Every structure is written in structure tokens, then in C-alpha cells.
Amino acid sequence: MDGRLTLKTVAAAAGVSTAAVSYAFNRPGRLSEPVRERILAVARELGYAGPDAAGRTLRTRRAGAIGVIFTVGLSYAFSDPYVLAMLSGLTEVAEPARTSLVLIPFDLGADGHDDDGLREGLVAVHRAVIDGAIADGPADDHPAVLALAARNIPLVRSSTTASGPSVCIDDRAAGVDVGRYLAGLGHRDVTVVVACPQPPGVPVPVVDEATLYPYSALRLAGIREGLGRRARVRVVSGGRNAPESGRAAAALVLDGDRRPTAIAADSDMLAAGVLDALRQRDLEPARDVSVSGFDDSSLAGPAGLTTVRQPVREKGRLMARMLLDPDFTERRVILPTELVVRSSTGPATHH
């Protein structure tokens, strides 16, 4: 194929105008079927695949796509029920609007200073042919956020700490609900399991809270507030948000000298790992150690997990509407949460 093939090349070979060639690829209803078929046949013979998407965007300011920024690898993201629910909400709005989703991984590695990850992420953001972007969680100083701002790409995020448009929940208030509930059951010795920027399954017995994801820091602060000053709160992690991280974090406290009466995980994925760790030690949730999660994802109900319900699909829908629906003028939406009590929690028992 000749890389210099253009609309003009095809138009000259087919004996039509360049506009007719553009219509054949982008607006077929403007041409009769025989004319369109003849143009496409000539294009195939020449090896012309169609107008360049990036070039078309520069002219029309409409790529017909929005980017979804993932601060983790895509293989991990698609294992998370929260992410899948959010994507489902996005597509409910994007599909009727004939808008595609461009998935953009921007993984900075365990310590947040992976030069290769940074370089690859920046290249992906700068090359993406998109009209806007959605990101779940990154702070204002994240390189992806800064790169999108440099391109003047509209961005919607899902964090209460984000400047600019956002659809979020009040993570701290939801954490307060968890803490107050556990305190009401008599729990005064509570371990909080959080996600942190480490590989999944790596025990972190002393967490540097300054490095926590914004949502984790807010939920932790809320749980502490809800439990009150008399409670003993230990914060541990097992790495990024994954069941193996929950198992590793739970092992730190279940195998220690002083077992907590409750473990509050800041996601259902982590809580699932905590429940696994209990089963491995023949301990029963609620009877021996109470366990709570966060999100009320698809795995929470079958596991009998007490958790905070947030409307994840609705979050995805509203984030997409902020970018795609001109009649949707709100720039900041805070969605409600609800504490859902199930069988994984019960009154505190003294060990």
C-alpha cells in the first residue's frame, strides 16, 4: 500500500469529488448505493482504508470517542467488579450517542515512579484521538491529569478532592457510617485494610498514609472518626486492590499476638481476601472476627458481606453524561451511599 494515498487520490481514480469519497466512508446516506459501492471498490483496489481519524478530528473537533484512564493495568482492571460496573454505566450513555470508549492504561508501578510506565502512559494520552476523558481516582497532580489538561481535553473524575467536573460519593461520610456501626457493636480493636501502591499480595504492616489513594485516605479518616477516640485502630495493607492483598493484610493481624475484633476493608475486593484468610484459619466471620467492605459489588451479596453500597453504574452514567450531554450542566455530583448489613459482622467478642 502507498502510505501517501489520500481522498484526492481515490477521488481522481473514481472520477468523483473528494467530498463524495468522504461521504462514502462517513455519511453513506448522502450518496446513491451504486456510487458509494464504486468509490469503496476503487478505494479497496488502491489499498485506501479511509480518512485518517486524527486528521478528521482536527477539522471537525469531534473524534466520536472518550478516553477512560486506568491507573492500573487493563488485565487487573477487568478483574474488578467495581470497574466493570462503572464501564457498564459509561457504555449505557456512550453507545446511544455513537461514541466509542478508548481504554488508556497509565500504570506508574508500585512506587509511583516507574519511568517506563510514565513514558508509555504519556504517549498513550498524547496520541489518543478523543473528545474527552474519564478517570476514576487520580489526584490533581497525576501525570495523566496534567497531560490531558495540556491538551485541553475535558476530564471528569470520581473524587471529592478533584478540581473540575466530578461525580463522586462522600467517602469520608461513608467511612463514618462504618465506624459508628462497628462501635455500636462494641468493637474497640479494629484493623483497617487499605489499598496502597504496592504489588498485590505484598504485606505492608506499617502503612505510609501520605501515599494512600485519595479515596482510601478519606474512608480511613471516616472510620476513625466513627469509631471514636477510645478505639484502637491499626492500618495495614497487602498492596493494590485485589483479593490477594486482602489475604496478605489479614495474615498480618490474624497471626499476631492480639487479634482484632473487627477488620474493615476499604473495598469489597480486599474484604473478599480477608474472608478467605479467616476460612483458612477456621475462623468464622461475625463470630470470631467481624468483616466489612466497601462498594457492594457483585461479590458482596453471595459472600454475606456487610458493606457500603454506592451506585457505581449510575456514577459511570453521569460521568459520561457530563462529557456527552449538552443539557447536563451540573459540574459536581455527590451520589448517596448506604450501609448494607449482612452476616459478616456481629457483636464484638473478647479473645
Task: List the pLDDT tens digit at each of the 351 positions of the chain.
Answer: 445 677 888 888 899 988 888 777 766 667 888 888 888 888 878 877 666 555 544 445 578 999 999 887 788 778 889 999 999 999 999 999 999 999 998 877 655 556 777 888 888 888 899 999 999 878 888 889 888 988 889 999 998 877 889 999 999 999 999 999 999 999 999 999 999 888 889 999 999 998 888 899 999 999 999 999 999 999 999 998 999 999 999 999 999 888 999 999 999 999 999 999 999 999 999 999 999 999 999 999 999 999 999 999 999 999 999 999 988 889 999 999 999 999 999 999 865
What's the predicted TM-score (pTM) here? Answer: 0.79
Q: Contact at 8 Å (CB) between 255 and 244?
A: no
Which grid coordinates belong to 169?
460519593
> What does residue 134 show for φ and ψ, rounded to 5 degrees?
-130, 135
Which grid coordinates belong to 119?
513514558
Query: Helices 268-280 and 81-94: crossing angle, nearest 10°?
Result: 150
- Determine the residue type at 29: G
A 10 A CB-CB count for 237 gives 30
CA 289/CA 332 separation, integer angstroms? 38
Q: Give me the pLDDT at residue 169, please.
A: 96
Superfamily of structural domain 171-310: Response regulator (3.40.50.2300)
Beta bridge partners of 237: 194, 204
Bridging pattern class, strands 307-309 and 338-340: antiparallel
Strand positions, DSSP E, the chain: 65-70, 100-105, 132-135, 155-157, 166-169, 189-194, 232-237, 262-265, 290-292, 307-309, 332-335, 338-340
CA 143/CA 133 separation, integer angstroms? 14
Beta bridge partners of 232: 189
Evaluate whether 7-51 and 65-169+312-335 have a shared fold. Answer: no
Fold of 7-51: 434 Repressor (Amino-terminal Domain) (1.10.260)
Domain at 65-169+312-335: CATH code: 3.40.50.2300
Angle at 136 between CA 131 and CA 140, to 5 degrees: 80
If you search the block for the grid coordinates 467536573, which residue do you land on? 165
Beta bridge partners of 264: 192, 292
Tell me how far apart the 2 most distant CA atoms of the chain are, in Å.
87
* In the chain, where the domains are located: 7-51, 65-169+312-335, 171-310
Q: Which helix (H) or strand (E) holds 83?
A: helix 81-94
Q: Contact at 8 Å (CB) between 51 and 10?
A: no
> What does residue 65 show for φ and ψ, rounded to 5 degrees?
-155, 150
- Determine the residue type at 269: M
Question: 256-259, long-range: CB within 8 Å, 24+ apart, which pairs?
Answer: 258/189, 258/351, 259/289, 259/351
Length of the chain equals 351
Q: HSE on the CB side for 155, CA within 13 Å?
A: 26
> What does residue 170 show for φ and ψ, rounded to 5 degrees?
-90, 90
